[in-house]
Structure 1
């Protein structure tokens, strides 16, 4: 069996690491695997296939910024890549993020329909069924249900500075993405699966495969020096972690929360820019983003509680990473963030409710109803080795068996 995965990046970022983890699962089981990617330096993959060049990326960015035609550039690069696909002749083509300024979706899907290849598509966000945006929950937009127009997220990724082409983008995507004979959609959360089922992609089988983490890395660290290094030995440590901190990730809720801290409480935020760190109130300690999973595990282990006030997320692995290190998680009931949490390992709070976070923290400190072992047991459900074997099992299914895949209840 030969499998080609297509993603914007290879081996970096959450989607890039998912692709390489699947790649290595295939290799370990004696199958042939390739990853085609669009930009940045590939990591952790023996035979990556670059789609286009940096120059192609820049042109695609320009097409997006001026004309709002994201996904419709990179014509020459995509034609060359399709020739590569024809030479490899894979049994399965596994799509991930097709946004990212690197591939022409019209050429790609015309090829997929003509070749009758079996296609798996893991959706990591909502871009596949909107006219522009990758997420819409924060602004409460529901135009995607019938047809996009006058996009309220036009200047958000993938940003257009001038034209709003969301109506035409929606219609073109609908025409291109529907009608494939053998396509299965994977979502990392039940929340996203439910949205897909309400979109024009509902004609396809949908299966939930949650994101997983490396439990050999993320585990309680007893010799963490983080508290001593930052003079937090006698503090109740409230932790937040994100790749990018902004309003959608809940940064303003941490700022508000800092006004209600007790004298022995402190907030630690990981992933802030230097500018953001300078603007923090004194009750918050800002840490730059670290690429070291070992360092992250030490920080998670040092924390008393992990708070994730995200207002727009699919299935954040930060929640699972914290649980695996024995740290309870408090998160908003938004997107799929709450799906990894139950009453044994954390608390689910109404979105945009800082007071709810404050109340949960006070209750937790007095009751201590959640223990580390319960958090670790919950994290064991998301062992990445098991998640990627699910993908392998899916690859090996026949078309008739795929019809058994049903949308899970939420």
Structure 2
């Protein structure tokens, strides 16, 4: 049995790690696996197809910024990739993020239609069923339900600086993405699954397979040296990229509402963000040391995730598995990993309530760890493998 996965990246970032780990699990199950990807580099133990080049990605991005036709460039790169895909002749194709300026979605879906093979598509955001954006929760837009037009987020990823072709994009995506008779949508949260079922995917089977984490890495860690203020209760925020949408400004505002017994630590900031932080906030640039990250989670009094746009954040799962309660906004699928034994959910933008929750947080390490153990990535991969066998049967 041959499995072909397609994703923007391979081996890094949340979706890239999922694709690589899933290939390893499928290989153990007897699959011959390839991962086609468009950006960066890939792990040596993964059999891969690089789609295009960095120059092609940059050109696709520039043209998209002018035309707002993201996903309709990279023609030569996609044709070359599809020749390799034909030679591999997969029995099942698993799509992840097909946005990211690297593949031509029209050519890709025409090829998928010609193959008549089972296709699994894991949606990691909302891009697949909108005319432009990857997230609309923050602004409460519902045009995607009936047909996008006059996009209020034209300047957001995948940004267009000139034209608004959200209506055209929506029509083309609907035409292409509903053309497959053997497509199964997978979402990592019930929230996103519900949205997909309300979109033009309403007649497509939708499964929920939650994201998982590596419990051999994320568990209480007390032996890593950390440069944290002594005698302070650590309020931790972690993200790969900090933006206003991720709640960066809200964490700064939170630090001003907490008394001196607390210290806010933000992991994943750029050097420029770190230099601009107020004195009472500690910034740590992105760390690739998972053991050190687990130790930071373990040392925290609370993990705060004031995100305004999220599907099912793995940072919540990592914090729980390390024994730390999670306080998050009622955003997307972020609350789904939390119950009243291990965290609290706050309405978006209510920083005062966020501060009150931090100061009153009193959850047992055991309860948090127990909740975190529900998200073992190996069990999630078994769910995917079960779906593969079901579709191939």
Question: TM-score when scaled to structure 1?
Answer: 0.94
Checking the alignment, whether the CA contact within 8 Å between 2:118 and 2:391 is kept in structure 1 is: no
Deviation at residue 55 of structure 1 after TM alignment: 2.4
Checking the alignment, whether the CA contact within 8 Å between 1:212 and 1:385 is kept in structure 2 is: yes
Is residue 2:348 matched to residue 1:357? no
State the alpha-carbon separation in 2 of the partners of residues 323 and 54 from structure 1: 37
Is residue 2:304 matched to residue 1:307? yes
Q: How does 1:2-401 map to 2 (within 5 A)?
A: 2-43=2-43, 45-226=45-226, 229-230=227-228, 232-364=229-361, 368=362, 370-398=363-391
Could you say what the CA RMSD is over the residues aligned between the two structures, in angstroms? 1.2
Mark the CA change 1:398 to 1:46 in structure 2 (over 3 Å): closer, same or farther: closer
1:137-185 per-position Cα deviation (integer Å, ceiling 9, x unaligned): 1122111111111111111111111111111000000000003110100
Structure 2: segments with no counterpart, 5+ residues: none
Mark the CA change 1:356 to 1:44 in structure 2 (over 3 Å): closer, same or farther: farther
Structure 1: segments with no counterpart, 5+ residues: 401-410
Deviation at residue 202 of structure 1 after TM alignment: 1.4
State the alpha-carbon separation in 1 of the partners of residues 85 and 386 from structure 2: 23
State the alpha-carbon separation in 1 of the partners of residues 263 and 284 from structure 2: 13
Question: TM-score when scaled to structure 2?
Answer: 0.98
Partner SS state of residue 381, structure 1 = helix
State the alpha-carbon separation in 2 of the partners of residues 399 and 5 from structure 1: 15
Q: Which runs of 4+ in 1 moved over 3 A?
A: none
Partner SS state of residue 304, structure 1 = strand
Deviation at residue 399 of structure 1 after TM alignment: 7.0
Checking the alignment, whether the CA contact within 8 Å between 1:113 and 1:180 is kept in structure 2 is: yes
Checking the alignment, whether the CA contact within 8 Å between 1:182 and 1:399 is kept in structure 2 is: no
Checking the alignment, whether the CA contact within 8 Å between 1:95 and 1:122 is kept in structure 2 is: yes
Checking the alignment, whether the CA contact within 8 Å between 1:326 and 1:372 is kept in structure 2 is: yes
Checking the alignment, whether the CA contact within 8 Å between 1:224 and 1:302 is kept in structure 2 is: no
Report how many aligned residue pairs link the two structures: 393
Deviation at residue 45 of structure 1 after TM alignment: 3.7
Deviation at residue 44 of structure 1 after TM alignment: 5.1
